[in-house]
Homo-oligomer: A and B are copies of this chain.
Amino acid sequence: MYWLLSRFSMSATGARRSVIRELLKLTQQPGIISFAGGLPSPETFPVREIAELSREVILKEGAWALQYGPTEGVPGLKEEIIRHIAKDGMKAGPENILITSASQQGLDLVSRVFLNRRNRIIVGRPTYLGALSAFRSTGALFSEVELDEEGMRTDRVREQVEALRLEGNPPKFVYVVPDFQNPSGVTLSLKRRKELLSIAREHRFPIIEDSPYRALRYVGSPVPSLYELDGGEGFVISLHTFSKILFPGLRLGWILAGPAMIDRFVMAKQAMDLCSPGLTQAIALEYCRRGLLDGHIQDNIVLYREKRKVMLEALERFMPDHPEIRWTRPEGGLFLWLCLPESVDVEIMFHDAIAAKVAYVVGTCFYAYDGGHHAMRLNFSYPSESDIVEGIRRLADVIRNYL
């Protein structure tokens, strides 16, 4: 099979097997309390409702739900999405929406439509691993911008954009997870959102707003989305998903953007998978049509708010008292970010953690080139409350041995 290796594209030769997936395999040993996944809790899945309405909707709508559908997505589902996002200040018509196979496909579509080899893009430091994989597959290069407690530092974004222009390789876009960022949990402040938009307008590049967690806010007040702040000027391409507000096994999401932009995404999606499944779209549509989505999101918020609180309390209680041990206090989402002293290497410590039956994601996964050796991402949505307490206790013991 060696002959095959020389036949691969540059994209395939450069691909790295997702570190997170490899580590996840280790975390699946019995007895391990895992803070590593990004999974919603299965206790949130509306199994009974989905079972009953699937039966009914297939009987009623099978003729189209089982057939090929439009690449753009099922019109009725678009209408439900329009109503849903309007409550959050986002104005859209059907021409502003493309239904995707969840937001990872949104990221992939963005890669295809914008990126050539050696193009520059600006991302957070740290940033979402899945976005790095999608963008990296095109051979694009990353310019990283640090985060602080207000999110991505827009003063540094401006510096980077100007430096890249001088080099003759201006950024194709800025990628940002403004609400409860994966992995840091930090939210981009309103001031920074406005600054980011103003830089984008001045330099005429789009902002990719990746927004999987926005509906899951547990404390504090919502900040308007970049899509809303843009006011239809076309500088924001906004990615959304049903994975975190309904369930991931649907693999459905949507892109919000200007009509000309949506048109390009539709062309790219045609070549990728023709259309997303009619079957899952029919089920999501029926769930929304019955008015079940808002209540379901509210139930999730109640559950995850408590889990977040339990994790923050456990961290206060068990973590060693050390000036360099600190963590974020996210106002929503699924993750927080724990920073450790420089003496700790989280990749080395990972194996001790597994031995102590607790797992996390090493911070290094979330950096385009290098970084995060002394940080980790902790998920609080999946484990039970008692597992959160016990897991943080175990983790604190492991960390203590490294101080």
Contacts and interface: CB of A to CB of B under 8 A. Distances in A.
Interface of A: 1, 3-4, 7-12, 15-18, 21, 39-40, 42, 45, 47-48, 50-52, 54-56, 58-59, 62-69, 71, 101-102, 104-105, 108, 112-116, 119, 130, 133-134, 136-138, 172-173, 204-206, 234, 243, 247-251, 258, 260-261, 264, 267-268, 270-280, 282-283
B55 A52 contact: yes
Shortest 6 CB-CB distances between A and B: which pairs? A249-B278, A47-B62, A55-B55, A51-B58, A66-B249, A133-B271
A244 to B, nearest CB: 11
Contacts of A40: 67
Nearest to A54: B54
- Of A9, A58, A271, A274, the most chain B CB neighbours within 10 A belong to A271
B12 A273 contact: no
B66 A267 contact: no
A105 B205 contact: no
B12 A247 contact: no
A130 B62 contact: no
B271 A204 contact: no
B274 A12 contact: no
Nearest to A135: B271
Contact of A55 (B54, B71, B136): B54
Given A68-B39, A280-B277, A7 B137 contact: no
Nearest to A15: B267
Contacts of A21: 71, 270
A268 B64 CA distance: 30
B54 A274 contact: no
A212 B56 CA distance: 30
Contact of A17 (B68, B267, B273): B267
A173 B206 CA distance: 37
Contact of A248 (B9, B68, B243, B260): B68
A1 B249 contact: no
B273 A108 contact: yes
A56 B270 CA distance: 33
A52 B267 CA distance: 36
A253 to B, nearest CB: 10
Given A1-B234, A1-B258, A247-B66, A116 B268 contact: no
- Of A272, A275, A282, the most chain B CB neighbours within 10 A belong to A272
A21 B267 CA distance: 10
Contact of A251 (B114, B234, B276): B276
Contact of A45 (B55, B66, B114, B272): B66
A260 B62 contact: no
A355 to B, nearest CB: 25
Given A7-B172, A12-B267, 17 more contacts: A9-B113, A9-B114, A9-B138, A10-B116, A18-B270, A21-B71, A40-B67, A45-B62, A54-B55, A67-B248, A102-B273, A108-B273, A112-B137, A130-B274, A251-B273, A279-B279, A279-B283
